[in-house]
Chains A and B, each alone.
Chain A
């Protein structure tokens, strides 16, 4: 199954993609429980905050576009896992990077576009969790 994340927007307006193609038994044992825990059909129509990211996520037949502040809980876990696996694939350790911008099937492709996979300049090692557990959310400022 092809699983891909495309992150657009942000102050810089840069696009970044992470994609993996996952085979059994890893798909059944590791990925499907996570994919099934995401509320694909229950996405609130929530306006984005200025300069925050927009995430397009695809997993098999599932597809969704979310503002950054909705990417919490299982969504965040899926995004982080996809990114980490794609980066690991770049090093030939596990999984592999998707050769195509899979998330673009229902979107307009921007030209020129960033590379399909993560830039080679690395600050962290594959598999390392890059972000803390999601704690952000509406009312985050207590106001």
Chain B
């Protein structure tokens, strides 16, 4: 079934529907409009819409909402060549290698959050295969998204353990894939820090969704369990208290700011994308605890609406992003809603809005 005959003006009208009973349609239309030609080429609006209708959501399992992941795990065998050798595909039993199984399970948990909470079918909304490569390089202290797959190093064993050990790393990298198909914020400066922050936000939500935690119960840590015992630190980043995740005599102290007062101007790290992400990270945390309950439900929905909506451009900075989240909250919950008030308060507390 092809739906390319639905004209863009109609998709635009559908995307603007504010009546909540039409929201799944509006969301599907928004995503169908998309930001890049890739989405417009790939998306099948009616198919996506049928899959995302409320009432078809199952309560558990990767197959919720009638959606099923397709996972492929490869092994780079300590080379720096991608994609590596295929070692496990969808439906195959566990293997001996824990890194392979961690990556496979992490992909599934991440798919589950997007499918169950937001009715999204994989990264592109159209069932894209979830691809991961483990054992990349030698002593490689990193994990990254290369545009088509997640890539995990094993760590050097002195500072870092293998990067598949933390579910938040998987959620973070896959969200870069979602970002690529939605707001597509450029990976530089403030939009880059927002790109990073959105990955941290949904990484935290993947973990909380997996554990059934409320905002109050969650630790709001990114990369917990990656450091070896030799490092004095609990995680790589803290959304609850940016700047406190580690303080170690070898790797130094967590440099993330929590508010605009600590904003770092730098040309390192693509303009400090892993530093200043602490500010929008903390804004999301403030919103989530203010609203209480399951953070993926309302706070996460507002962020999801924001990146899949039409208000952001690839070079949006903190202020434009904050305004877009407020518009998303108002659109979904109303002008007088506690959600909108909490969004505005959160951005004000971190100094982005006045």
Contacts and interface: CB of A to CB of B under 8 A. Distances in A.
Contacts of B148: 141, 143
Contact of A50 (B78, B159, B187, B264): B187
Main SS of the interface on chain A? loop
B35 interface: no
Contacts of B149: 141
A138 to B, nearest CB: 10
Contacts of A136: 80-82
B250 interface: yes
Given A114-B251, A132-B80, A49 B145 contact: yes
Interface residues of B, number: 57
A131 B173 CA distance: 23
Interface size class, chain A: 35 or more
A49 B80 contact: no
Given A11-B172, A108-B266, A140-B82, A132 B138 contact: yes
Interface stretch (B21-29, B104-112, B268-276, B290-298): B268-276
A124 B139 CA distance: 10
A12 B267 contact: no
Interface string B148-189: 110000001111100100000100110010010000001110
B83 interface: yes
A112 B262 CA distance: 12
A11 B269 CA distance: 10
Nearest to A115: B250
Interface of A: 6, 8-15, 47-54, 56, 65, 107-108, 110-115, 119-124, 130-132, 134-136, 140-143
28 contacts: A8-B268, A9-B270, A9-B273, A10-B144, A11-B142, A13-B237, A47-B187, A49-B144, A50-B144, A50-B173, A51-B143, A51-B144, A51-B145, A54-B268, A54-B269, A108-B264, A108-B266, A113-B252, A114-B251, A121-B159, A123-B158, A124-B139, A130-B138, A131-B138, A132-B138, A140-B81, A140-B146, A143-B148
